Structure 1
Amino acid sequence: MRRLVGLWRRSLRTRVVINTVLLSTAVILIVGWALLHDVAGGLAENRRDAAIGEARAGLEQAQSQLDAAVDSEPTRQSPALTQLVDALAATRGENRSYELVLQGPLAEAGGAPVRASGNVGIDDVPADLARQVSSEQGIFWTFSELSIFGTGDVPVVTVGGRVTAPGSNDRYALYYVFSMADQQETLGLVRTALLAGGAGLLVMVTLVAGLVARQVVEPVRLARRIAERFAAGNLEQRMHVKGEDDIARLSTSFNQMAESLQSQIRRLENLSRLQQRFVSDVSHELRTPLTTVQMAGQVLYEARTGFDPQTARAAELLQTEVGRFEALLSDLLDLSRFDAGAATLETDPVDLAAVARAAAADDVLKRAGIVGHARGVERPAIVEADIRRVDRMVRNLITNAARYSESEDVDVIVSQADDRVSLAVRDYGVGMEPDVVRRVFDRFWRGDPARSHGGTGLGLAIAREDAALHGGTLEVWSRPGEGTEFILTLPRVAGERVWEPVTASVFA
């Protein structure tokens, strides 16, 4: 059942064929039932009309024979009536398709005597029909089933009427029981033909549906396979174009889209390589002059007490900006290493609980007037990690909380599982809008430049790269007015992948 459900969900061709077969089956059943109903009704009506006509003629014949009888005394009527039944029953000989039942006189107490042909009796006559014939003058009929004519239960039509003996005015009920075995056999043949025709038609519909679905779905399936190869990085695949129909135009449009996409991807790849190379080259080329400027600035900064106030202030500014420039250059070099795949880890056992305690007591929070709280640090949380990169990631998160959150408290929370440990930095400040959350890890991006406090927009980008280098993740949840939470998750063993934090965020 699971395989069938999976095939139904994955295969468009299967769904098309099954839906077509089910709908065709429903249509065939409805049409077949309607045809069978009409045929059965027509056969029953024809047999009824024929039976009524034959019974009417028999009743008129019986009445004529009674009217012509010389002696109508009851003692002499019984042999005459018996002869009447035998004569009517012998009218058709061995091919007779009916049986007779004669009951009467109807007014006789203790039950009227019955004369019948074959194995049929008065008990085989439907009670409703018997009451109607006994109480009213005319010819009446009804359908029923009887075990007569040597074929088991067969449908019959029973026609009844009254005849009256002259002289005594005794009334007799005469019933004709007509077999409908021939009509039943004909209906069976029609039913068999309809079933066989419906089954054959259903097989043909299935084959046609499969062929049509193959012609329509196969190009879509080919497009899906080529799209998957595109997603895997194989940009050279193309669809085969045959004919000039809609499928062919779809294939042509798909190939044009693929060529355009391939061209754009190559252009972006070239641009990205040029950008990365430019950043890497500039960063390395600036390292030597920056070192010289830093040494000169350090000399001026240390000798600033002998300068006039303006020169001393200039030396201080020079020292500050050179420090910022050095930090920016260091970040750019790190990014170039990540892009080149040259970043490496120097792993040692690191206790994230101790890192969390140190982060909660960091001076950057105190200078911003924020109270830090370490939670979940009662027991060690050991992971294999590069302590330098871990400290840089956590310090970036703490610095961001101090600069931008406008919160009075910051929680540093450690959660553990068997294979991973999470360290979350949670503030209760202004929070971020959804569009800011989506771009917060982009390089050189700052949500509000007016509140940037001199940041470069590289800290969180580098932090996420550091987390990925360990096989971990760095995620963020935030809501305006409710604060922000960054969750750093690292595997116990460096390099093993983790896919989600140990505990869900309060914003999830």
Structure 2
Amino acid sequence: MRLLTVLYDRGAAQLIRAWRRSLHFRVVSVTLVSSTLLVVTFSWLLASQITAAQVGSRLTEAQKQLEQGRSYLEPQFRDRGDAADPGLNGFLRYATALLVPADPTAYYVLLEPTNKDFLKAVKPQSPQIEDTRAAQDAVPADLRQTIEHSRKSAYQYVRADPDGRGERPFIVVGTTVNSAMGQYSLFYLYPLDEQVDSASSVRTTVFVAGLALVLLLALLSALITHLVVGPVRIAARTAQRLSAGLLDQRMEVRGEDDLAALATSFNQMAANLQRQINRLEEMSRLQRRFTSDVSHELRTPLTTVRMAADMLFANREDFDPLAARSAELLQAELDRFEDLLTDLLEISRYDAGFAVLDTEAVDLVPIVNRVVERLRPLADRANVELRTVVPDEPVIAEVDPRRIERVLRNLVGNAVEHGEARPVVVTLADGDGAAAVTVRDHGIGLNTGEDKLVFNRFWRADPSRARQTGGTGLGLSISLEDARLHGGWLEAWGAPQLGAQFRLTVPLRAGDRLLSSPLPLVPEDAEPRLGPIPPDEPSRGVRHAS
């Protein structure tokens, strides 16, 4: 029983899968089911009509014979007014001999009024009935009562064996015959063997023809659907190859019909896409090359300017105040320009696909503490308190320490810049094969949708704000690429007047896949003001994963 259940479930699952995935299967199935219902309904109606016509014809014949018998007997009985007439029996034998139906397979039964259970006359032509009681018993009792009380003709379908040849379907018609001695009952039994056989033959013929028609319709629908779905499947496979990067894939054009027009249009679209993609790739390649070349070419004059600026900055005390201030500004802008060139070179490496990891098993606790300590002077100038929450035990992870430190430096620096003189908390935790660092500030926060833009290159939440750190606008973009290179996540959350929080999550072992993060993205102190967080929106931020 369990095996049958398993097989049934498996078959049902396969049918559902085929129904959902195959247009060909759906069209053929719908055509087959609808045509089957139509053919079955038509066959049933046709067989019913033919059977009803044949049985109706037989009923008309029986009723006509019944009326002829009644019309013959009533005038004869009218002259016989005495039941003690010695010639009555001879008259009955003579009269009933004339009641023999024209159909040799039919029978008649005449019952006298005084004893409805006594069979007075039964006369089949062939074969001769030996047991007349069997023919009488073939007449239903309820039909006798109906005739007796209504004194009208009536009929009924029965299965009977009046001649010992086995039960067969009969139609029994009966009426009353009035006489001076009382009311006789006259019945005719007409067999329906031929009608039943004919109806069975009709049903069989209609069934076979309907089955052949259904199979033909299924074959035609399968053929037509194949002709239509075939090119669509080819187009789908070609589109999949195009999406996989095989831009030279095209559909074969056959004929001049609508499907050929579809294939031609699809090929034109593919050719246009290939030209546009090649053009964009060429432009992107030229842009990357231009950025890389310009960055490299600017290194040489920057080095010369840097040497001169360092000399001026070192001797600024010997200058007048205006010149000294100019030397300080020159030094600061040169630092910012050099950082921009460094970031542009790093971005160009990522764009060109040349960035590689130099992983090693390191403790993340000292890295977090080192980043915080290096940025503490900047936080002091901005009147921002830096706090760290790290485990007492080491958090060992296989990462590139230089890139992880750069990501944390960018995150903490941004938090200090946008912290609005409020505390910034850096938290480290590990668990479930992952390590996570969150950087929480309580500044202006992010508006709706800005958590999806913070990682765009050169994007700023408020361009009008005065900058304290002199960032290049590429820090978060580079941090995102560093996180992706580790197979990790870099996510952002923020809300107006509630601050922001960034979360970096990396696997403890290089190459492992992340399933969850040990730290929540939405800060616990922000949840009461945000309201309950739906289970399907655990972050209310944007996740950038590799």
TM-score (normalizing by structure 1): 0.86
- Report the 3-state secondary structure (helix = DSSP H, G, I; strand = E; otherwise coil) of the residue aligned with 1:334: helix
- Report the 3-state secondary structure (helix = DSSP H, G, I; strand = E; otherwise coil) of the residue aligned with 1:287: helix
Asked if residue 252 in structure 1 is aligned to residue 264 in structure 2, the reply is yes
- Distance in structure 1 (CA, Å) of the matches to 2:394 and 2:231: 58
Q: 1:264 aligns with which of 276, 288, 296?
A: 276
- Distance in structure 2 (CA, Å) of the matches to 1:156 and 1:452: 109
1:256-287 Cα shifts (integer Å, max 9, x gaps):
11111000000000000001111111112222
Q: 2:360 aligns with which of 320, 343, 348?
A: 348
* Deviation at residue 115 of structure 1 after TM alignment: 4.8
1:299-327 Cα shifts (integer Å, max 9, x gaps):
32232222211111111111211111111
One-letter amino acid of the structure 2 residue matched with residue 136 of structure 1 = S
- Distance in structure 1 (CA, Å) of the matches to 2:120 and 2:413: 116
One-letter amino acid of the structure 2 residue matched with residue 47 of structure 1 = R
8 Å CA contact 2:486–2:506 kept in 1: the answer is yes
1:420-469 Cα shifts (integer Å, max 9, x gaps):
33434455665545553443322233344224735432112111111121
- Distance in structure 2 (CA, Å) of the matches to 1:139 and 1:350: 110
Q: 1:505 aligns with which of 538, 541, 546?
A: 538
- Report the 3-state secondary structure (helix = DSSP H, G, I; strand = E; otherwise coil) of the residue aligned with 1:176: strand
* Deviation at residue 38 of structure 1 after TM alignment: 2.1
Q: Which residue of 1 aligns with 2:224?
A: 212
Q: How does 1:170-209 map to 2 (within 5 A)?
A: 170-209=182-221
- Report the 3-state secondary structure (helix = DSSP H, G, I; strand = E; otherwise coil) of the residue aligned with 2:406: helix
- Give the 3 Å change call, closer, same or farther, for CA 228–380 of structure 1 in structure 2: same
* Greater Cα offset, 35-44 or 202-211: 35-44
* Deviation at residue 174 of structure 1 after TM alignment: 2.1
- Report the 3-state secondary structure (helix = DSSP H, G, I; strand = E; otherwise coil) of the residue aligned with 1:450: coil
One-letter amino acid of the structure 2 residue matched with residue 113 of structure 1 = F
Q: 1:96 aligns with which of 95, 104, 117?
A: 104
* Greater Cα offset, 393-402 or 263-272: 393-402
Q: Which residue of 2 aligns with 1:319?
A: 331
Q: Which residue of 1 aligns with 2:83?
A: 72
- Report the 3-state secondary structure (helix = DSSP H, G, I; strand = E; otherwise coil) of the residue aligned with 2:190: strand
- Distance in structure 2 (CA, Å) of the matches to 1:99 and 1:55: 11
- Report the 3-state secondary structure (helix = DSSP H, G, I; strand = E; otherwise coil) of the residue aligned with 1:178: strand
- Give the 3 Å change call, closer, same or farther, for CA 219–87 of structure 1 in structure 2: same
Q: Which residue of 2 aligns with 1:393?
A: 407
- Report the 3-state secondary structure (helix = DSSP H, G, I; strand = E; otherwise coil) of the residue aligned with 1:488: strand
* Deviation at residue 494 of structure 1 after TM alignment: 1.6
- Distance in structure 1 (CA, Å) of the matches to 2:419 and 2:47: 80
- Distance in structure 2 (CA, Å) of the matches to 1:451 and 1:160: 111
* Deviation at residue 488 of structure 1 after TM alignment: 2.4
One-letter amino acid of the structure 2 residue matched with residue 40 of structure 1 = T
Q: How does 1:403-442 map to 2 (within 5 A)?
A: 403-404=417-418, 412=426, 416-426=430-440, 431-433=445-447, 435-442=449-456
Q: 2:347 aligns with which of 316, 335, 348?
A: 335
* Deviation at residue 10 of structure 1 after TM alignment: 1.9
Q: 2:46 aligns with which of 10, 31, 35?
A: 35
- Distance in structure 1 (CA, Å) of the matches to 2:425 and 2:263: 56
- Give the 3 Å change call, closer, same or farther, for CA 324–159 of structure 1 in structure 2: same
Q: Which residue of 2 aligns with 1:286?
A: 298
Give identity over the alignment, percent. Answer: 39
- Distance in structure 1 (CA, Å) of the matches to 2:117 and 2:258: 84
- Distance in structure 1 (CA, Å) of the matches to 2:271 and 2:171: 79
Q: Which residue of 2 aligns with 1:10?
A: 21
- Report the 3-state secondary structure (helix = DSSP H, G, I; strand = E; otherwise coil) of the residue aligned with 1:449: coil
* Greater Cα offset, 320-329 or 497-506: 497-506
Q: 1:443 aligns with which of 452, 457, 460?
A: 457
* Greater Cα offset, 299-308 or 451-460: 451-460
1:354-409 Cα shifts (integer Å, max 9, x gaps):
65677788636666566666668465543200112112212323333343476956
8 Å CA contact 1:479–1:507 kept in 2: the answer is no
Q: Which residue of 2 aligns with 1:25?
A: 36
- Give the 3 Å change call, closer, same or farther, for CA 426–86 of structure 1 in structure 2: farther
* Deviation at residue 471 of structure 1 after TM alignment: 2.0
- Give the 3 Å change call, closer, same or farther, for CA 379–313 of structure 1 in structure 2: same
- Report the 3-state secondary structure (helix = DSSP H, G, I; strand = E; otherwise coil) of the residue aligned with 1:343: coil
* Greater Cα offset, 287-296 or 113-122: 113-122
Q: Which residue of 1 aligns with 2:524?
A: none
* Greater Cα offset, 287-296 or 205-214: 287-296
- Distance in structure 1 (CA, Å) of the matches to 2:167 and 2:380: 102
- Give the 3 Å change call, closer, same or farther, for CA 173–355 of structure 1 in structure 2: farther
Q: Which residue of 1 aligns with 2:507?
A: 491
- Give the 3 Å change call, closer, same or farther, for CA 270–56 of structure 1 in structure 2: same
Asked if residue 113 in structure 1 is aligned to residue 129 in structure 2, the reply is no
* Greater Cα offset, 301-310 or 443-452: 443-452
- Distance in structure 2 (CA, Å) of the matches to 1:354 and 1:149: 112
1:159-218 Cα shifts (integer Å, max 9, x gaps):
11111333x2x2122222222221111111111111111111111111111111111111
* Greater Cα offset, 153-162 or 475-484: 475-484
1:97-120 Cα shifts (integer Å, max 9, x gaps):
3333444426x6xx7534575574
- Distance in structure 2 (CA, Å) of the matches to 1:487 and 1:14: 48
8 Å CA contact 2:336–2:471 kept in 1: the answer is no
Q: How does 1:131-146 map to 2 (within 5 A)?
A: 131-146=145-160
- Report the 3-state secondary structure (helix = DSSP H, G, I; strand = E; otherwise coil) of the residue aligned with 2:324: helix
- Distance in structure 2 (CA, Å) of the matches to 1:252 and 1:305: 77
* Greater Cα offset, 40-49 or 212-221: 40-49
1:56-93 Cα shifts (integer Å, max 9, x gaps):
222333435534658633887567657765664x545x
- Distance in structure 2 (CA, Å) of the matches to 1:152 and 1:375: 101
Q: Which runs of 5+ in 1 are unaligned?
A: none
CA-based RMSD: 3.3
Q: 1:162 aligns with which of 157, 176, 181?
A: 176
8 Å CA contact 1:469–1:495 kept in 2: the answer is no
8 Å CA contact 2:138–2:161 kept in 1: the answer is no
8 Å CA contact 1:384–1:492 kept in 2: the answer is yes
- Distance in structure 2 (CA, Å) of the matches to 1:321 and 1:388: 25
- Give the 3 Å change call, closer, same or farther, for CA 360–226 of structure 1 in structure 2: same
Q: Which runs of 5+ in 2 are unaligned?
A: 1-10, 123-128, 521-536, 542-546
One-letter amino acid of the structure 2 residue matched with residue 41 of structure 1 = A
- Distance in structure 1 (CA, Å) of the matches to 2:411 and 2:164: 98
- Provide the aligned length of Structure 1 versus Structure 2: 500
Asked if residue 46 in structure 1 is aligned to residue 51 in structure 2, the reply is no
Q: Which residue of 2 aligns with 1:238?
A: 250
One-letter amino acid of the structure 2 residue matched with residue 332 of structure 1 = L
8 Å CA contact 2:336–2:472 kept in 1: the answer is no
TM-score (normalizing by structure 2): 0.81
Q: Which residue of 2 aligns with 1:467?
A: 483
8 Å CA contact 1:410–1:426 kept in 2: the answer is yes
* Deviation at residue 294 of structure 1 after TM alignment: 2.5
- Give the 3 Å change call, closer, same or farther, for CA 228–426 of structure 1 in structure 2: farther
- Distance in structure 1 (CA, Å) of the matches to 2:399 and 2:483: 10
- Distance in structure 2 (CA, Å) of the matches to 1:261 and 1:185: 71
